[in-house]
Amino acid sequence: MMLTSWLYGIGEKFRGVVSALCYGFIVLMAFSRLAAGAHYLSDVLFGFMIAISIVEVAKAKLDRKLRETQIT
């Protein structure tokens, strides 16, 4: 999911497509873990929540750093 942030400025027009592909991969991976019996639904949901939290914090820090470098 951080791929869309790393494309900042370079791939602005591809941001929607890349985000959709990333979300699709995440959903398919979650279903495969459930279908294979490797994890319970609670495991998948908790892992998703942790991952989203980490990504959002990293995106906020990256956006703040990019704004600071543009100002100076």
Cα torsion angle, 27, 28, 33, 34, sign: positive
Q: CA-CA distance, 58 to 65, in Å (whole number)?
A: 11
Does the pTM surpass 0.85? The reply is no
Radius of gyration over every alpha carbon of the chain, rounded to an integer in angstroms: 15
Please give the tally of structural domains in the chain: 1
pLDDT at 62: 80
pLDDT at 1: 58
Domain that residue 62 falls in: 3-71
Q: What is the pLDDT along the chain (72 residues), one digit of tens a residue?
A: 566 656 656 666 777 787 788 888 888 999 999 999 999 999 999 998 998 888 888 878 887 887 888 775
pLDDT at 20: 83
